[in-house]
Structure 1
Amino acid sequence: MNLFRLAGDMTHLVSVVVLLLKIHTIKSCAGISLKTQELYALVFAARYLDLFTRFNSLYNSIMKLIFLGSSFSIVWYIRHHKIVRRTYDKDQDTFRHVLLVLPCLLLALLINDKFTFTEVMWTFSIYLEAVAIVPQLVLLQRTRNIDNLTGQYVFLLGAYRALYILNWIYRYFTEEHYVQWITWISGLIQTLLYADFFYYYFQSWKNNERLHLPA
């Protein structure tokens, strides 16, 4: 494992910790899209079907369990915790996420490395992860004023994917025959979706202001 991969994993992990801190400690999910969290739960469920049948390393297995457990816990909190669910802005979080799931599933059936159930599900998870942030970005655009923890959470998610692109570049130049077009293109699309958010995040950080997205 190289430094970029480790940094990406740790950034992803910290993003989850920040979100759980907001939900569990402050008892609020204001500004958080349940639709995006449900998509991430589906992403990890589809990707880690081999959790108990294929062992790569203890690190790999632990990270799979963390992301599976945390994603479903977040969805449960927002849906069922009597205090947290009252802070969920259901009226603003209206993006129809089925419009992302079905095209990603169809694309995975058509474009994959091997037409087996686990491989198609893994490919589906890659495609879906690339666009899972869309409901969250739409919600932020609608609410416009973004609290600090929500802004940090979304920024860390974007930074995680950007670090993974550096990991892929590093591996391409250091490993023979390392080519993963599906992962690369999906990851690039995912990172580009954050471009507008990154711009305003750094502007607010530079000016020491609260993050505010324009209408």
Structure 2
Amino acid sequence: MKGAKTPIHSVAIWVRRQPPKVKAFLAVVSGIAALVFLRLVVHDHDNLFVAAEAVHALGIAVLIFKLTKEKTCAGLSLKSQELTAIFLAVRLYCSFVMEFDIHTLLDSATLVTTLWVIYMIRFTLKSSYMDDKDNFKSYYVLLPCAVLSLLIHPTTQHHIVNRILWAFCVYLEAVSVLPQLRVMQNTKIVEPFTAHYVFALGVARFLSCAHWILQVLDTHGRLLTTLGYGLWPSMVLLSEIVQTFILADFCYYYVKSLVGGQLVLRLPSGVV
């Protein structure tokens, strides 16, 4: 059993010893390899977006299990949950008025469960909430997202207010996890259920990003023109890429911890 783990541990040790530039290069190569794999395996790339929302819902289910069974919200960021609820509510509104489909139903279910998590943290399990660790200022992301959505938004035929709101939820989704990462940065130790939840967010972000990239490749760039003109199509792709890379470092240490058989994830200084 020990011998079977040796190759994996050897690779992990080798990667850990590499300089930051080499690690970044390996991460990009791994991402490209994963995209190629998904393109070969998944025929309808729209399913990737549905899968992303399903994985997000699974992450929420992990949180609900933690809150109901362990009776504690320690390590969770209330601010991240509130930002998530905001962008889901805005996206749900836009989905109702602009296009009603399966994503509308998935967003509805995710919003309801997110609101329940917020209720549990604020009231039922308030005594275990780490208010001093959850010190990221929400307006640091809300204000820039609002200003950016006023400047760069879709150029479709929909009402201007709806287009601005659509842009706002895209930008806010990309950075909504930052308060949760700050909590983990402050504590340095991440218990299993919180780690599972954040890893699920990372997987969901990657699947969503892969959906957009593969759709652009499949349509030979025509998808970008359907989103409008100007900077908006590029900002959509950039937002997807940003939210993927925000969680990439954490996901690396999560997988490393999982392979090493560690139940509690310990983050080194500088991560997230």
Per the normalisation by structure 2, the TM-score is 0.73
Q: Is it true that 1:188 corresponds to 2:241 in the alignment?
A: yes
Q: Is it true that 1:178 corresponds to 2:223 in the alignment?
A: yes
| Identity value in percent | 32
CA–CA distance in 2 between the matches of 1:39 and 1:127?
Answer: 11
2:118 paired residue number? 75
> 1:33-92 CA deviation, whole Å, 9 max, x = no partner?
0011111011112211145545533x23321211221222211111111xx111110111
Q: Is it true that 1:101 corresponds to 2:142 in the alignment?
A: yes
Asked if the contact 2:92–2:104 (Cα under 8 Å) also holds between the matched residues in 1, the reply is no
Q: Is it true that 1:64 corresponds to 2:103 in the alignment?
A: no
CA–CA distance in 2 between the matches of 1:156 and 1:47?
Answer: 20
Q: 1:99 to 1:136 in 2, by over 3 A?
A: same
Per the normalisation by structure 1, the TM-score is 0.92
Asked if the contact 1:51–1:64 (Cα under 8 Å) also holds between the matched residues in 2, the reply is no
1 or 2, which has the higher helix percentage?
Answer: 2
Asked if the contact 2:192–2:265 (Cα under 8 Å) also holds between the matched residues in 1, the reply is yes
CA–CA distance in 2 between the matches of 1:108 and 1:168?
Answer: 20
2:9 paired residue number? none
Bigger Rg, which one: 2
CA–CA distance in 1 between the matches of 2:136 and 2:200?
Answer: 22
CA–CA distance in 2 between the matches of 1:80 and 1:67?
Answer: 20
Q: Structure 1 counterpart of 2:246, which letter?
A: L
Q: CA deviation at 1:16?
A: 1.1
Moved over 3 A (4+): 50-55
Q: Is it true that 1:142 corresponds to 2:164 in the alignment?
A: no
Q: Is it true that 1:32 corresponds to 2:76 in the alignment?
A: yes
In structure 2, stretches of 5+ residues that fail to align are 1-43, 225-232
In structure 1, stretches of 5+ residues that fail to align are none
Name which of structure 1's ranges 5-14 and 86-95 shifts more when overlaid on structure 2: 5-14
Q: Is it true that 1:212 corresponds to 2:266 in the alignment?
A: yes
CA–CA distance in 2 between the matches of 1:86 and 1:132?
Answer: 24
Q: CA deviation at 1:25?
A: 2.5
Aligned length: 212
CA–CA distance in 2 between the matches of 1:143 and 1:101?
Answer: 24
CA–CA distance in 1 between the matches of 2:98 and 2:238?
Answer: 26
Q: CA deviation at 1:144?
A: 1.1
